[in-house]
Amino acid sequence: MTLGEMRKQALFQFNNDTEALDDYEYMPHLNDYLNRGYDLLMYAWKEEPAPIMTYDQETPEIPEWAHRGIVDYATYLLYRNGSGARQARGQEYLRAFYEIQERLRDGGKAPKHFIHIPDTPDIPRHWKDMPAYNPFE
């Protein structure tokens, strides 16, 4: 996905609310938001800073499946400065970004989800650390 495509996707995820973007002067910062997400994911993947993308045809150097995380992070930053309802919508994009970031840290493996087991004395200790079934492995 190129920088231009990521910008279009972020606007689509923000419901194409360009009036809100212009009113709050977010539009000039959209590239900054995308580059910040790219930098965070690049550091999770290679532990080095990402080069700044400035042209619409530039492509991030992270795996193709992780490009969506850059867009999700930018969408979260667009939503975070709005009302409480907008901020709540943005939290889902932040959660999706964190999942991709964690997957990059693990070398591209599918995320592992654990079953929440309450801390009660009648459950054997070794059961609390038991991972949930992961169909991706």
pLDDT, tens only, 96-135: 999 999 988 887 665 555 555 555 555 555 555 555 555 5
Residue type, 28: P
Distance from C-alpha of 76 to C-alpha of 82, rounded to nearest angstrom: 11
Q: How many CA atoms lie within 13 A of 25 on its CB side?
A: 0
HEC readout, 9-20: HHHHHCCCCHHH
Decide: pTM greater than 0.85.
Answer: no
